[in-house]
Structure 1
Amino acid sequence: MESTTSTLLEQGITPSDLLKHWQGHRGLTRRVIEAFPEEAFFNYSIGGMRPFAEMVMELLGIAGPGIKEIATGKIQELIEQVDHGNKKVKILELWDEATNEINTYWEQIKPEQFQQNIKIFGQYEGTVWSSIFYFIDNEIHHRGQGYVYLRALGIEPPYFYER
């Protein structure tokens, strides 16, 4: 009994399970972006927080480039501004491109890499695991801010548990 328990505790989450979990979050964040009226997406703000479009650009600057850096070992520049022409459809296109980039580079990450120490974007130290968890946690954090905005605008946001 004890060896079975310790084996179960040591299993944790597999890389493929983590990718599936993250992509569930990404799909939900995409639906939050879709729920915003165009004008509000780029300009609405509460309490000094940035408009949701700016938060999403930060997420775009982190996710795809971060996974690419982990997979290739080549330091990526952290770019949190993208040319979107104040068009939500362009942001959604970039979101989909980043999702594909994550899937492509994820396949190149070897299981033994997840425990390795890295300095993501040449400046943030941690392990591959902790960096990926940061990418996910940061997305959840900003999506929560998007939920506040949507509710303040009188819009019912997507259910957070529907991933």
Structure 2
Amino acid sequence: MSHSQNPLPDEAAELLSQAERSSADSVHSTAAPRAFMIVLGIVSAAIISLYGVIDTALWHWSPVLFAPLIAWYALWARQRPKRRPALKHSGKYIAVMLLMMLALQFSNFWMPQTWLFAILKFLALVAVFTGALWIMRRETIKSRIKDGNEQAI
């Protein structure tokens, strides 16, 4: 074999790290934007924390606030290549998803009667939701990179 087919160890390491960076950049470019995840957490926390404080009929219409988020994500996703889903989620992803569901369930036991308590509930839910969504996004990216590196060419 010629020398061009067998690169030196330093060249091989550089090519491998370049391929790793390219893979990571590709995965990051197809993941949902961080700002979207933060706004999603804030809107979800706001809707859940307002139950019992505002009129029930108005609260039932509050999921309409997700319409701009859906439009934002749809327009953003059209400009990006279709992302490949992670084949297997990590244990951290599942644990954080369960924590988020548990926090949502426990928040149903806390029915604020005043605006002050609604704001406190909102802040607690924002912290849990945005933190959980952030970790779930990070773990999905890690899983997709790992899965992509393990695929046969």
TM-score by length of 2: 0.36
Rg larger for = 2
Larger helix proportion of the pair: 2
Larger strand proportion of the pair: 1
Higher-RCO chain (CA-CA 8 Å, sequence separation at least 6): 2
